Chain A
Amino acid sequence: MSAVQAVRSRPVLRRWLMVGSAAILWVALYSVNLPWWDWLVYDVAGLDEGSRLGSGVHFFFYDSVKIGLLLTGIIFVVTVLRSFMSVERTRAMLGGKREGFGNVLAAGLGVVTPFCSCSAVPAFIGFVSAGVPIGVTMSFLIASPMVNEIAIALLLGLFGIGPTLLYAGAGLLIAIVGGFVLGRLHVERWVEPFVFETRLRGRVIDSTLGLTWDDRIAMGVEEVGSILRKIWPYLLVGIGLGAVIHGWAPEDFFAQYAGADNPFAVPLAVLLGVPLYSNAAGVLPLVEALHDKGLPMGTLLAFMMAVVALSLPELILLRRVLKPRLIATFVAVVAAGILVVGYLFNAVLA
């Protein structure tokens, strides 16, 4: 029996060989990305490395491929790992937990549970009708979009482990404290009454039961496809803007007007970030370019958090279950947390 036949007759071996080859291909592409664009942009196309056009064009292509690869790899791995978790299991773990510890647990589970903010409303009703306190539910809803795999993947690739840990730690802290504060404010009175009247019928099914490894890998591949299809316009606009800033903006332009010594820079970054509906993929190339131009990390992380954690479409969805006063309080509490984090990082990292 030849090696090919041996592989063909064993689907398990074939599956892991395919995953392994994909991983090797990924590493190879990632490591040739920089020399490849150096060669193509500077040597073949003959653009000057020091020129605005040259460095802008190089930034655009190199970053597009790098971010594309990072997203593909990390979304795949995270989706496969998360297929072992489910919202149903998370809810079961949070049911009956007290505030405080419950907030910590909810924020942590918000990071690892597969969840899309498009399901924020049914999840909110599901949590509350299962007896999870409102504040604990809020911790989950804040942490889930803020500390997501896309943000982590890109921060890690563009800024390294330090800023990534800072971002994740700060995001978790805001989710824990924010949810706790909302719980203390007894915001139940600002939840639409039908939420409390919702009775669960039938048995709850766990959508992850009975998944095989093949299913999980297929889910990973599908998720990579569906996320990339959804975010590529944001990504290209973000990288394009980043390239323009990278090539054309004067060296000290932003640092001069929005540097660490300007106390209004952080609030301004948050105010700009809330109405901007994008995601981490669209914002991070911009953040990277602005950081190169001397903007402090605290201001930039605050901007990014405001964009991903407070998005208008999600707030409009949540209006179905939350009264306007609760939405306003929610935004105020999270924005306050982001402000504190921004100032703190600017002070610590300066």
Chain B
Amino acid sequence: MLIKILGSGCANCVNLERVTREAADDLGVVAEFEKVTDYADIASYGIMRTPGLVVDDEVLLSGRVPTREQVRELLAPLAPASA
């Protein structure tokens, strides 16, 4: 699973990455994290409010920092069945 955190290094992006890592750990998902800080790249996902959460090139969330539980719910259906 490739998880991208979209945002230009603001506090919200750091928080989003933290809760996402925690949620991935909870689910036992092995994920690769990537930070997307380039504005053209961020905008190309259609995101207009940072931070954004993109998993396997699908935008799951933008504009706010969710709770760990919310990220877990978002990630759960995408996690490999064997996990």
A interface residues (Cβ-Cβ under 8 A, vs B): 86-88, 91, 114-116, 118-119, 121-123, 125-127, 129, 194-195, 197-205, 207, 219, 320-321
CB–CB A207/B44 < 8 A: no
With beta carbons under 8 angstroms apart, the residue of A114, A122, A321 that contacts B47 is A122
Chain B residues near A201 (CB-CB < 8 A): 44-46, 57
Let me know if B2 is at the binding interface, CB within 8 A: no
- Known contacts being A87-B49, A91-B48, is A122 close to B58, with CB within 8 Å? no
Between-chain CB contacts (< 8 Å), 8 pairs: A115-B49, A119-B48, A122-B49, A125-B39, A126-B48, A205-B46, A207-B62, A320-B39
CB–CB B46/A126 < 8 A: yes
CB–CB A202/B40 < 8 A: no
CB–CB A121/B63 < 8 A: no
Chain A residues near B18 (CB-CB < 8 A): none
Q: What's the Cα separation between A36 and B40 when bound, in Å?
A: 54
- Known contacts being A115-B49, A119-B49, A119-B50, is A207 close to B40, with CB within 8 Å? no
Chain A residues near B30 (CB-CB < 8 A): none
CB–CB B61/A205 < 8 A: yes
Query: B40-56: which residues lie under 8 A (CB-CB) from chain A?
Result: 40, 42-50
CB–CB B43/A129 < 8 A: yes
A-B contact count (CB 8 A): 74
With beta carbons under 8 angstroms apart, the residue of A116, A198, A205 that contacts B43 is A198
CB–CB B39/A126 < 8 A: no
Q: What's the Cα separation between A122 and B46 when bound, in Å?
A: 9
Q: What's the Cα separation between A91 and B61 when bound, in Å?
A: 17
Chain B's nearest CB lies how many Å from the CB of A285? 26
Let me know if B81 is at the binding interface, CB within 8 A: no
- Known contacts being A91-B48, A119-B48, is A207 close to B61, with CB within 8 Å? yes
Chain B's nearest CB lies how many Å from the CB of A182? 20
Nearest 3 A/B pairs, CB to CB = A125-B43, A126-B48, A207-B63
Q: What's the Cα separation between A202 and B62 when bound, in Å?
A: 14
With beta carbons under 8 angstroms apart, the residue of B40, B45, B60 that contacts A194 is B40
Chain A residues near B8 (CB-CB < 8 A): 121
Q: What's the Cα separation between A335 and B61 when bound, in Å?
A: 37
The closest CB in chain B to the CB of A116 belongs to B49
CB–CB B42/A122 < 8 A: yes
Chain B residues near A203 (CB-CB < 8 A): 46, 59
Chain B residues near A199 (CB-CB < 8 A): 44
Given contacts A122-B42, A205-B59, 6 further A-B pairs with CB under 8 A are A118-B50, A119-B50, A121-B43, A122-B49, A125-B43, A198-B40
With beta carbons under 8 angstroms apart, the residue of B10, B57, B63, B64 that contacts A202 is B57
CB–CB B64/A219 < 8 A: yes
CB–CB A122/B61 < 8 A: no
Chain A's nearest CB lies how many Å from the CB of B43? 4
The closest CB in chain B to the CB of A121 belongs to B39
Chain A residues near B50 (CB-CB < 8 A): 118-119, 122
With beta carbons under 8 angstroms apart, the residue of A91, A116, A127, A200 that contacts B44 is A200
Q: What's the Cα separation between A202 and B43 when bound, in Å?
A: 11
